[in-house]
Amino acid sequence: MIGDSVLVGPHTHLNGTHVDDEVFIGTGVSMFPGSRAGTGCELRINSVYM
């Protein structure tokens, strides 16, 4: 699920994740099943979330 006003950078992998509103997801971020990005957060370049 991806919320409103979300920016997803290139080479990003979103797999079974929940992204709230107004989230910035930088280049090369990997989000795995069950992970969640809360409202207004920033996921920086090449970071990994499990």
32 inside domain: yes
Supply the pLDDT for residue 20: 98
Q: Residue-wise pLDDT tens for the chain (50 aa)?
A: 999 999 999 999 999 999 999 999 999 999 999 999 999 999 999 999 98
22 inside domain: yes
Supply the pLDDT for residue 33: 97
1 inside domain: no
Supply the pLDDT for residue 41: 96
2 inside domain: no
Which residue range forms the structural domain that includes residue 26?
7-49
Supply the pLDDT for residue 2: 96
Half-sphere exposure of 22 (CA within 13 A, CB side): 3
Q: In terms of C-beta density within 10 A (0-12 exposed, 13-18 middle, 19 or more buried), how is residue 43 classed?
A: buried
17 inside domain: yes
